Structure 1
Amino acid sequence: MTTSAQPIAEQAAVLNATVAQQLPADVLASFGEEQAALDAAGVPSGAARPGTAMPDGDLLDVHGARTTLAAARDGAPAVVVLYRGAWCPFCNIALRTYQAALVPALADRGVRLVAVSPQKPDGALTVQQTNELTFTVLSDPGNQLATGLGVLTRGTDAVHAAQAKIGVDVAAGNADGGPGVPMPTTVLVDTDGTIRWIDVQPNYTARTEPQRILDAVDALLG
């Protein structure tokens, strides 16, 4: 089965072209420098590998109730997507695309889809409602999953200053009040809670395409 949604990369390219015409030059320069540095650094050497246990923690659902990733999976295999927050337009593009292209296909395969970010539950609820997501969206105070997976990052002071100029305050939106965010990461977890496949995108403008996820599911869980 192949997906029919427009590739995330194409949607991101349109977004990049649009913001290039709208954002102040100094803000664009800060973001461009950040993306170049992320590309140069690549995937962290300590990032989790297949065969290791998927980390978990004290998470919150969109209404602020305590839960865990294990509870959200409820014994089923899952595709777990770590995203930065409601303020990130690239995250919203990816999540909408996953809703259209992955939800039915994963349901047919008995696989759950769970999205996790460090933002407060009301931010997670905003993401879920704005993008009309039917899959589980959780809040991870303190970036427990990102830390456990070795994909936690934070912007430089210059990036935070640029974000402030366009009304973005990452720390204020995060449940722990800190600036940390995960690198966009997609993890395939089996019924035992073991990582079977992981894809880390250091540059937040890039995301794992739906077909790659389905190919991994079919190859490793089929």
Structure 2
Amino acid sequence: MTLQSRLDAFKADFEAGKTPYNVPYSVIETMHRATAELIASGAAQHALKAGDSLPAFMLSDPDGTTVSSADLLAHSPLVISFYRGVWCPYCNMELQALQEALPQFEEFGAKLVAISPQNPANSRKSVRQNNLTFPILSDPRNHVAAAFGLRFEMPDYLIELYKSLKNDLPAFNGDPSWTLPMPARYVVGQDGVILYAEVNPDYTRRPEPEDMLPALRRATSQVA
């Protein structure tokens, strides 16, 4: 089953109110409204695209070790996934799919990292619950996401909904702002040039991991 098929199946059950979700349709309508407004804003059109240069970054992994983009690219191309957090089931399914595809990425010598605004404790939880062997790097206040053009501010009505669902992003992230990154996937060559970019303001839609393989193949041929 493809990643998108799994996401679609989850979304159908969630929106049908099946156990254990049991959310009222007013919640679904609010989520639909927020997604539609983010799409209509055109924010995704301003995110970094193929051909752009990777913004340099230094972030901490769940163990507190500093990881730099320069070190990540020193010996291999890089796959980056922007991850909203442990509370997002769609994001977790994406991480699981990326973990399944990791051997294919490694055949091209590539490294894989996720970048999330959540704090290190929640990233450790994400790694554990999703059985990941790649790191989730903490991006406080979504500064790196902003450099990629991915950070957006949640509207007040969506913040109130999240609060009512006990989805306390300031607690998850250790950050009082209510911002998130749009889900995004990138492949970056060792020269720091983005070879593949997929950004979608609809968090229920994600590209297949295999979609990145042609870009990884090009990255490998460039080095060779």
User: TM-score by structure 1 length?
Assistant: 0.89
The more displaced of 14-23 and 89-98 is 14-23
Q: Does 1:68 align with 2:63?
A: no
Please report how far the alpha carbon of residue 166 of structure 1 lies from its aligned counterpart in structure 2 after TM superposition: 1.8
Root mean square deviation of aligned Cα = 1.8
Distance 2:3 2:89 in 1: 12
Distance 1:178 1:71 in 2: 30
Q: Does 1:195 align with 2:194?
A: yes
Deviations 1:144-193 (A, max 9, x none): 22111111113211111111222211122114332211111111111122
Distance 2:76 2:220 in 1: 11
- Which position in structure 1 is the counterpart of 2:109? 110
The secondary structure found in structure 1 opposite 2:46 is coil
- Which position in structure 2 is the counterpart of 1:8? 3
Distance 1:159 1:179 in 2: 10
Deviations 1:120-147 (A, max 9, x none): 0111111111000011221111212211
Deviations 1:75-119 (A, max 9, x none): 32111111111111110010001111x200011110111111111
The secondary structure found in structure 1 opposite 2:112 is strand
- Residue segments in structure 2 that go unaligned for 5+ positions in a row: none
Identical positions, percent: 31
Cα distance 1:136–1:73, how it changes in 2: closer, same or farther (>3 A)?
farther
- Which position in structure 2 is the counterpart of 1:152? 151
Distance 2:74 2:6 in 1: 33
- Which position in structure 2 is the counterpart of 1:206? 205
Q: Does 1:55 align with 2:55?
A: yes
- Which position in structure 2 is the counterpart of 1:3? none
Cα distance 1:184–1:53, how it changes in 2: closer, same or farther (>3 A)?
same
The secondary structure found in structure 1 opposite 2:118 is coil
The secondary structure found in structure 2 opposite 1:67 is strand
- Structure 2 contact 73–189 (Cα < 8 Å) conserved: no
- Structure 1 contact 8–209 (Cα < 8 Å) conserved: yes
Cα distance 1:179–1:56, how it changes in 2: closer, same or farther (>3 A)?
farther
- Structure 2 contact 72–78 (Cα < 8 Å) conserved: no
Distance 1:213 1:152 in 2: 23
The secondary structure found in structure 2 opposite 1:45 is helix
- Structure 1 contact 151–183 (Cα < 8 Å) conserved: yes
- Which position in structure 1 is the counterpart of 2:86? 86
- Residue segments in structure 1 that go unaligned for 5+ positions in a row: 1-5
The more displaced of 67-76 and 187-196 is 67-76
Amino acid at match of 2:97: T
The secondary structure found in structure 1 opposite 2:56 is coil
Amino acid at match of 1:40: A
